[in-house]
Amino acid sequence: MELSGGSMLITTFQTTNNYYAYSAWTNEIARISKELYNLFNNAEESEKRRKGIELGLLPIAPIPVDVFSDERIGEAVSELMEQGPETLILSVTDQCNFRCRYCQFSGAYPQSRVHSNKKMTSELAVQAIDWCANFLRTKRHVGFYGGEPLLRFSLLKEAIRHALSTFKGETSFGITTNGSLLDVEVMDFLEEFNVHLFVSLDGPAIVNDRYRLDSSGRPTFNVVWGNLQKLQNRHPAYYSKYVGFNVTAAPPDQLPLVVRFFEENPSFFKDKLFNISNIKQGSDEIFQRLEVKEPGSQINYQWAWEAFLSACIHNERPPDYTRKICEPPMARIHHREMGAQVSFTTDAGQCEPGLRCHVMTDGTLHMCEHIDPIFPLGRLPSGFDYDSIRTCLRMFREIINVHCQDCWAIQLCSKCIPHIVDGTSLSLTNLSSLCNVIKKRLKRDFAHYCESREKNLDCFEWIANKTYDVNI
């Protein structure tokens, strides 16, 4: 039995005017004096621990750590055997009619798949749906991914119709698309079946067309923008409810221009969901291709935080394009359950392999669409290889047990197995890099949370009440 209870379970952070300590043992944030802040940062372990116990931030005696037991792994696998995937992602083609310069399938990422003529057969799509239908789950989402999935529109129609006639219970559908192939037939079908459409658009032409080019190297903004206009005119209610945007924030940072574009076109972007993400890490070559002189140059999201927090402080609705960035971390802190723990578990936070299931064009099954395709969880027609899933979880256990049991982030961490995959194993080095990012972000989030509540104690109540229609 492992034990935890040292001062590593406390972290400190500052706002403009105050000092705070956060305890992973109680999940509470306490305002402290500058002297205590200095003590927790500089004193000997015994002194930090003595003070932590005195303040109720650390347990008097170390508490047990459940290090992701065989029993827990067994439960997770049994549940998967019974319930199957929540989300089934079908990669219907590896081909794309675009050649975006930052694309993760461009060949610049050593272990990633690349654009090719591989495509899913309709037999395989039907097989994937039938396999999924054998599980007991009654609410599912089916996503279509590529390449560009609308290159396989016939297959997509067949798969959606088959899923609706096969699955019992509630089924929703989604497509991640570059938006170039939205003709009238496609639009009418998407509208008829309420398919969520996530269109990749990086902002106005001057930003989008830096890197989002078609396979002949031509800019793509005009065609996508024209299609969105047609879709909105043809099916305004559908557009308003089911269309969202994926924005890749690539260097050099042009997000202020992107935001101005959203603000200047409210009829297209008001009340929309925006997934704003960075280009995939792990390739120096990609920065050479983008001709970025400083590969490490960061995208600055401070503008988003300022706009989001200012709105919260003034009890106003935050701008939509800030919400996907800022709302989940604030909600996680705001909704945390507080109180002294009797034990810790190291396996909180990460997604469990198989709940999101990515089916590749050849029928192999993966944890999600972002993982490199050399860590399969099974293959159709036989389905999941439960031994592989157990092995994956045990490998994960070996790594997190070393790292997580004395970590102050243990209750709020959102570690992700695909992020630490390296080839056919899980990498301690990758986990360490991920931990640094997670802990730095959490401290920033704590500071944002507390600084805002210093100005308006109730400023995040709308998150609890979902007043602003949280669809994130």
Phi, psi of 232 (to 5 degrees): -65, -40
Q: Is 413 in the site for ligand SF4 (CB under 6 A)?
A: yes
Tokens linked to 31: 């305002």
Site string for ligand SF4, 187-226 (x = CB under 6 A): -------------x--------------------------
Cα(238)–Cα(415) distance, rounded to whole angstroms?
35
Q: Are strands 10-14 and 19-23 parallel, antiparallel or unpaired?
A: antiparallel
Interface with ligand SF4 (CB under 6 A), residue total 22
- Which of residues 209 and 385 has its CB atom nearest to ligand SF4 in the complex? 209
Helix (H) or strand (E) holding 341: none
Which residue lies nearer to ligand SF4 by CB, 38 or 343? 343
Options 84, 85, 143, 147; binder of ligand SF4; rule CB under 6 A = 147
x/- mask, ligand SF4, residues 425-454, rule CB under 6 A, reads ----------x--xx---------------
Spell out the alpha helix ranges (H) of 15-98.
34-42, 45-54, 70-83
Report the distance separating Cα 21 and Cα 177, nearest Å. 44
- For ligand SF4, the closer of residues 370 and 403 by Cβ is 403
* Site mask for ligand SF4 (CB under 6 A), range 75-114, x = bound: ---------------------x-xxx--x-x---------
Residue 79 is inside which H or E element, if any? helix 70-83
From the list 226, 146, 232, 224, the residue with the least C-alpha distance to 190 is: 232
CB of 147 to ligand SF4, least distance (A): 5
3 state DSSP class of 348: coil
148 touching ligand SF4, by CB under 6 A: yes
Whether the CB-CB separation of 373 and 113 falls below 8 Å is answered with yes
* Phi, then psi, of 244 in degrees rounded to 5: -130, 175
Locate 189 and state its tokens: 């079908």
The correct pick among 415, 419, 443, 448 for binding ligand SF4 (CB under 6 A) is 415
Interface with ligand SF4 includes 245 (CB under 6 A)? no
Q: Judge whether 333 and 449 are in contact, CB under 8 Å.
A: yes
Instruction: Output the CA–CA distances (angstroms, integers) from residue 302 to 12, 270, 299, 331, 342, in the order listed.
Output: 21, 21, 9, 18, 38
Q: How far is the CB of 446 from ligand SF4 (least distance, A)?
A: 14
As measured in angstroms, the least distance from the Cβ of 167 to ligand SF4 is: 27
CB of 176 to ligand SF4, least distance (A): 8
Rounded to the nearest whole angstrom, what is the least distance from the CB of residue 148 to ligand SF4 in the complex? 5
Contacts with ligand SF4 by CB under 6 A lie at 96, 98-100, 103, 105, 146-148, 178, 200, 400, 403-404, 407, 409-410, 413, 415, 435, 438-439
